Structure 1
Amino acid sequence: MHYSDSLKQQTTYKESAYHVGTIAEHRVKADRIKQMVNRIILVGKYLGFIFTFYILMTVRVLPTYDQVTRYNPIAWSKEVTVFNVYVVFLVILLAIHGFTLIQNQLFSGKADRSILEEYMFEFRAIVFSFLITIGITFLLKTTFLYSRVTLVLFVIAMLSETLIWLGAKRLIMSSLYRRGSLRSNILIVGAGRVGMEVQTKISEFKGNKNCIVGFLDDNKVGNEVIGRTEDLEKILKKIRVDTIYITIPSEKHVIESMIHTIYKYDVDIRIIPEMFDRMATVFAFRNDLEYPCLQIVKTPLRGLNVLLKRVADICGSSFLLLLLSPLLIVIAIAIKIGSRGHVFFKQQRIGKNGLRFYMIKFRSMREGSEFNKSELINDNEATGPVFKMRNDPRVTPIGRILRKYSLDELPQLWNVLKGEMSLIGPRPPLPEEVQSYTDYHWRRMDVLPGMTGLWQVSGRSDLNFEQWLDLDIYYIERWSVSLEMKILLKTIPAVIKGDGAY
Structure 2
Amino acid sequence: MGITVEEPSHDIREHIRTVEPEQKTVGSLPAPSPMSAGTAGQDRSWGRSLKNRLVLTDTVVVAASLFLAQLLRFGVTDQELQLAGAAQTYAMVSVVLGLMWLVALMITQSRALPVLGVGNDEYRRVINATIGTFGAFAIAAMLLKYDVARGYLAIALPVGLGLLLLSRHAWRLWLGRQRSKGNYTDRAIIVGSVSDVTFVGDKIFKSPQTGYRLLGAAIRGTEESQVTLSTGHSIPVISSPESVVQAVKDHNFDTVIVAGTAQNGQRYLKELSWELEGTNTSLVVASKLVDVAGPRIHWRPVEGLPLMNVEMPQYDGAKFTWKRSLDVVASAFGLIVLSPVMLAIAIAIKLDNPGPVFFRQERVGIQGSRFHMMKFRSMVVDAEARLKELAEQNEGNGTLFKMKRDPRVTRVGAFIRKYSLDEVPQLWNVLIGDMSLVGPRPPLEREVAVYEQHTHRRLLVRPGITGLWQVSGRSDLSWEESVRLDLYYVENWSLAGDLTIIMRTIKAVVAKDGAY
Asked if residue 293 in structure 1 is aligned to residue 311 in structure 2, the reply is: no
Q: How does 1:235-384 map to 2 (within 5 A)?
A: 244-249=256-261, 254-259=264-269, 261-262=271-272, 264-267=274-277, 269-276=283-290, 279-280=292-293, 282-285=295-298, 287=300, 292-295=307-310, 304-318=318-332, 324=339, 327=343, 334=350, 338-339=354-355, 346-352=360-366, 354-361=368-375, 370-384=384-398
Among candidates 395, 401, 416, match of residue 430 of structure 2: 416
Q: Secondary structure at the match of 1:349?
A: strand
State the match for 1:486 in structure 2: 503
Question: Structure 2 unaligned runs (5+)?
Answer: 1-38, 57-88, 149-155, 172-185, 227-235
**Residues 425 and 215 from structure 1, CA distance in 2 versus in 1: closer, same or farther, beyond 3 angstroms?**
same
Q: How does 1:21-420 map to 2 (within 5 A)?
A: 103-104=107-108, 111=114, 113=116, 186=189, 188-191=191-194, 192-197=197-202, 200=205, 214-218=217-221, 221-222=224-225, 224-229=236-241, 244-249=256-261, 254-259=264-269, 261-262=271-272, 264-267=274-277, 269-276=283-290, 279-280=292-293, 282-285=295-298, 287=300, 292-295=307-310, 304-318=318-332, 324=339, 327=343, 334=350, 338-339=354-355, 346-352=360-366, 354-361=368-375, 370-389=384-403, 409=423, 411-420=425-434
**Residues 247 and 307 from structure 1, CA distance in 2 versus in 1: closer, same or farther, beyond 3 angstroms?**
same
Amino acid at match of 1:193: T
* Mapped partners of 1:400, 1:98: distance in 2: 47
Question: Structure 1 unaligned runs (5+)?
Answer: 1-27, 46-84, 144-151, 168-182
Amino acid at match of 2:329: C
The answer to whether the 8 A contact 1:280-1:298 is kept is no
Q: Between Structure 1 and Structure 2, whose CA radius of gyration is higher?
A: 1
Identity %: 30
The answer to whether the 8 A contact 1:282-1:298 is kept is no
* Mapped partners of 1:247, 1:332: distance in 2: 55
* Mapped partners of 1:392, 1:448: distance in 2: 29
* Mapped partners of 2:44, 2:419: distance in 1: 58
Q: Secondary structure at the match of 1:382?
A: coil
* Mapped partners of 1:239, 1:329: distance in 2: 60
Q: Secondary structure at the match of 1:338?
A: coil
Name the structure with the higher helix share. 1
Q: Secondary structure at the match of 2:320?
A: helix
* Mapped partners of 1:487, 1:32: distance in 2: 30
Spell out, residue by residue over 1:252-274, the C-alpha distance to the aligned partner (whole angstroms, 9 max, x if none). x6213424544643445442211
Deviation at 1:419, TM superposition (A): 1.5
* Mapped partners of 2:200, 2:459: distance in 1: 32
Q: Secondary structure at the match of 1:359?
A: strand
Q: Secondary structure at the match of 2:310?
A: strand
Deviation at 1:102, TM superposition (A): 6.9
* Residue-pair matches, total: 397
* Mapped partners of 2:101, 2:413: distance in 1: 59
Spell out, residue by residue over 1:335-381, the C-alpha distance to the aligned partner (whole angstroms, 9 max, x if none). 9x935xx8765433233455443334566667675355333312323
**Residues 329 and 219 from structure 1, CA distance in 2 versus in 1: closer, same or farther, beyond 3 angstroms?**
closer
So what's the TM-score if we normalise by structure 1?
Answer: 0.52
The answer to whether the 8 A contact 1:454-1:472 is kept is yes
Q: Secondary structure at the match of 1:374?
A: helix
Deviation at 1:215, TM superposition (A): 0.6
**Residues 302 and 395 from structure 1, CA distance in 2 versus in 1: closer, same or farther, beyond 3 angstroms?**
same
The answer to whether the 8 A contact 2:259-2:285 is kept is yes
* Mapped partners of 1:319, 1:33: distance in 2: 45
State the match for 1:147 in structure 2: none
Spell out, residue by residue over 1:422-460, the C-alpha distance to the aligned partner (whole angstroms, 9 max, x if none). 234443122323455567866755642223456667876
The answer to whether the 8 A contact 2:350-2:357 is kept is no
**Residues 205 and 332 from structure 1, CA distance in 2 versus in 1: closer, same or farther, beyond 3 angstroms?**
closer
Spell out, residue by residue over 1:317-347, the C-alpha distance to the aligned partner (whole angstroms, 9 max, x if none). 4455567499399669949x935xx876543
Deviation at 1:385, TM superposition (A): 1.0
**Residues 422 and 384 from structure 1, CA distance in 2 versus in 1: closer, same or farther, beyond 3 angstroms?**
same
Q: RMSD value over aligned CA atoms?
A: 6.8
State the match for 2:442 in structure 1: 428
The answer to whether the 8 A contact 1:332-1:343 is kept is no
* Mapped partners of 2:287, 2:421: distance in 1: 45
